[in-house]
Structure 1
Amino acid sequence: MSTTIDTPTARPVTPLGILAKKLEAVVKEINQRTDLPVELVANLNQAWHLAAGLDPYLEEFTTPESAALTALAHKTSTEAWQQRFTEGTTVRPLEQEMLSGHVEGQTLKMFVHMAKAKRVLEIGMFTGYSALAMAEALPADGVLIACEVDAFAAKVAQAAFDQSVHGKKIRVQLGAALQTLNKLVEAGESFDLVFIDADKKEYITYFQTLLDTNLLAASGFICVDNTLLQGEVYLPVEQRTANGEAIAQFNRVVAADPRVEQVMLPIRDGMTLIRRVV
């Protein structure tokens, strides 16, 4: 069993988390009113409990994360990311909410097992939680290449990898993801599973690069994170951020590509699993 460690409360960054937070605010207000129909109040309270209770339930009944993953999650959640960016230690704004987390980490780990993957490519590593989770499922001779543009985040990740027996399976490639992908193509590399979780505006390019080259093995899978992007992809266009619009376009491109078939899963902030059919 993993050890529970108190960490700062993260802001909601998933459709379900945002929904639960908004319902909580509504419920607090209506519960102070005496002029509302009893049935309306009861229905709103039940809606809030349904939304707020789902994530904790998934956490409870998903196989616990390893001690190494618990420690890495704690390190990530307590790091002063805003200060690091302000002082120039990180090349871009980073935040604890970028961590994949327990349920998504175990999902990725299960995918590695199911695909019997021996070679994994991660595009966008952050502090290495998802990389380490997947490495735990790789065989002893398995390899995971993780692309990360931020040297400080990579340093945090490498420290965690060094503390795990599975860390030796991970090779960190520091630099812009597209540059790394081009180098891997030139080197003739191929992967059984690719996890995309980097610059949202580059998702389409990552996807097309994988399909247009041999980076994705013929029987390989692509797993893409944040494909619901806080619900922005199905909200009115005027409510989308630049990243929300980029993901909405990516989802349309994937759905229209005859070379693949895909399924979108409502895990955390949305995860799409893609396989090549042509």
Structure 2
Amino acid sequence: MSAVSDHQHPGDTPHDRLALLIDQLCLEIDSQPASTTDRVRALATQAKELIDGYDSYISGMSSPHPPVLDTMLEEGNKRDWKRIHKEGKTQFCLVLAMCAGTYEAVVLQHLAKLSKARTILEIGMFIGTTTVSLAMLPGVEQVVSLELEGYLEEINRPYFKLAGVSDKIDVRIGDAIASLDKLIAEGASFDMVFIDADKPNYIKYFKKVVESKLLAKGGFIAADNVAYKGSPWAPDQSYRMGPHIDDFNRAVREYPGVEVVMLSIEDGISLIRRKDLSIQALYNVKGKTAVITAYVQNGAKVYIASLQEKQLKEVSEALNKIGPGSCHYVVADLSSKAGCDALADNIKQKESKIHILVNNSGATWGAPFDKFPEREGWDRVLALNVKSIFYLTAA
């Protein structure tokens, strides 16, 4: 939930804001002489019909939401949030528009299913519509929900029980940053993280999650309200949180090590995941043929070559056990052009081409510097360390 609200009414999205502007435009048109505004009025009416039907059609053509959400929203709408705040039951004056709607709950369920999320962290619970929806998924084992207002846990617990998911929901009351630090200390890890809390702290929540082990390998973050009534690109003084959301969006977009896609769902949802920086992802050589040892574990078919057959056999057997690529060896003398040509001919008989060649052969002259052996020193080193690179590449 958001500690500071700009919401004017439930379902306040960029589409709603546009619909309101079109309503105002229609009123302005109606005040003008009919003879000069018929065409303008017709266009405005078409625009209004288009925007008014968009959200209802999209949600209506999606899978149904859990019925318990209707009860939760109905009860939430009946509550006098201003009075509740005046009575000191909440630290901030809440409004129903802070909660995620039924369509967004279905979207989050779908994302959790697609990602096969088992553990989910929710930062911001409010009346618990997304909390319940995610916990109701059979594949989800636990939903940890961070919430500032203790009163909200009190009113939500009966609905958790009604939905049959009380044992799967762990509500942590208090400052979200402190709660995140505690989860980090506990060694907690989550497949999915949903951020829908106070907007000025979005960046802090994001960094806490992505810079720790809270986000499991392959996990993702879903951040809500990232379009924030359109205020990031069409500022309006009525929406004070717009600049905070814009700062967050830009920070995530430029943050190293993550990738993000923003979806125009409801008030905007950003899906954020860590980039895959593993060796396998950065240097994927699966199915390639290489003359180098280090690529076997990344899926390549590798040939290794030297004069030492015993060592070649041992290395080849060890690498084949690691896989998933394969390793083959060729006994070869790379200190001469004839030896380099022979190795190349051997490989050509087995492969139509190679994709990677690493000339890694080398030797030293094996004697003190002041006792320079010309034939076993200079000539041997130059032949193996320099000439073989050219000969093998040319072959």
User: Partners of 2:179 and 2:118 in 1: how far apart?
Assistant: 20
Aligned pairs for 1:157-236 (under 5 A) are 157-236=156-235
How many residues align structurally? Answer: 268
Query: Is the CA contact (8 Å cut-off) linking 1:117 and 1:138 kept in structure 2?
Result: no
Q: Which residue of 2 aligns with 1:22?
A: 21
Aligned pairs for 1:1-278 (under 5 A) are 10-11=9-10, 13-31=12-30, 33=32, 34-139=34-139, 142-236=141-235, 239=237, 241-277=239-275, 278=277
Q: Which residue of 1 aligns with 2:342?
A: none
SS of the residue corresponding to residue 93 of structure 1 reads coil
Please report how far the alpha carbon of residue 32 of structure 1 lies from its aligned counterpart in structure 2 after TM superposition: 5.6
The two structures, once aligned, show a CA RMSD in angstroms of: 1.8
Amino acid in structure 2 at the alignment position of 1:275: R
Amino acid in structure 2 at the alignment position of 1:193: M
Query: Is the CA contact (8 Å cut-off) linking 1:121 and 1:193 kept in structure 2?
Result: yes
User: Partners of 1:47 and 1:241 in 2: how far apart?
Assistant: 24
SS of the residue corresponding to residue 243 of structure 2 reads helix
Query: Is the CA contact (8 Å cut-off) linking 1:194 and 1:223 kept in structure 2?
Result: yes
* 1:101-145 Cα distance to aligned partner (Å, 9 max, x none): 1110000010110010000000000111011111122426x1010
Query: Is the CA contact (8 Å cut-off) linking 1:15 and 1:230 kept in structure 2?
Result: yes
Query: Is the CA contact (8 Å cut-off) linking 1:76 and 1:99 kept in structure 2?
Result: no
User: Partners of 2:49 and 2:86 in 1: how far apart?
Assistant: 39
Q: Which residue of 2 aligns with 1:6?
A: none
User: Partners of 2:220 and 2:165 in 1: how far apart?
Assistant: 22
Compare relative contact order (CA 8 Å, sep 6+) and give the higher one, 1 or 2: 1
Q: Which moved more, 1:36-45 or 1:216-225?
A: 36-45
User: Partners of 1:20 and 1:167 in 2: how far apart?
Assistant: 39
Amino acid in structure 2 at the alignment position of 1:243: M
Q: Which moved more, 1:219-228 or 1:66-75?
A: 66-75
Q: Which residue of 1 aligns with 2:351?
A: none
Amino acid in structure 2 at the alignment position of 1:119: T
User: Partners of 1:23 and 1:32 in 2: how far apart?
Assistant: 14
User: Partners of 1:160 and 1:195 in 2: how far apart?
Assistant: 20
Q: Which moved more, 1:23-32 or 1:183-192?
A: 23-32
SS of the residue corresponding to residue 233 of structure 1 reads coil
Q: Which moved more, 1:16-25 or 1:100-109?
A: 16-25
Query: Is the CA contact (8 Å cut-off) linking 2:136 and 2:163 kept in structure 1?
Result: no
User: Partners of 1:240 and 1:212 in 2: how far apart?
Assistant: 34
TM-score of the two chains, using structure 2 as the length reference: 0.65
SS of the residue corresponding to residue 234 of structure 1 reads coil
User: Partners of 2:15 and 2:225 in 1: how far apart?
Assistant: 13
Amino acid in structure 1 at the alignment position of 2:189: S
Q: Which residue of 2 aligns with 1:4?
A: none
User: Partners of 1:198 and 1:153 in 2: how far apart?
Assistant: 14
Identity of aligned residues (%): 33
User: Partners of 1:196 and 1:138 in 2: how far apart?
Assistant: 22
Please report how far the alpha carbon of residue 178 of structure 1 lies from its aligned counterpart in structure 2 after TM superposition: 0.7
Q: Which moved more, 1:143-152 or 1:227-236?
A: 227-236
Please report how far the alpha carbon of residue 39 of structure 1 lies from its aligned counterpart in structure 2 after TM superposition: 2.3
Q: Which residue of 1 aligns with 2:282?
A: none
Give unmatched runs, 5+ long, in structure 2. 1-7, 278-395
User: Partners of 1:113 and 1:173 in 2: how far apart?
Assistant: 24
Amino acid in structure 2 at the alignment position of 1:258: P
User: Partners of 2:166 and 2:65 in 1: how far apart?
Assistant: 15
User: Partners of 2:11 and 2:122 in 1: how far apart?
Assistant: 24
User: Partners of 1:86 and 1:35 in 2: how far apart?
Assistant: 53
Query: Is the CA contact (8 Å cut-off) linking 1:196 and 1:222 kept in structure 2?
Result: yes
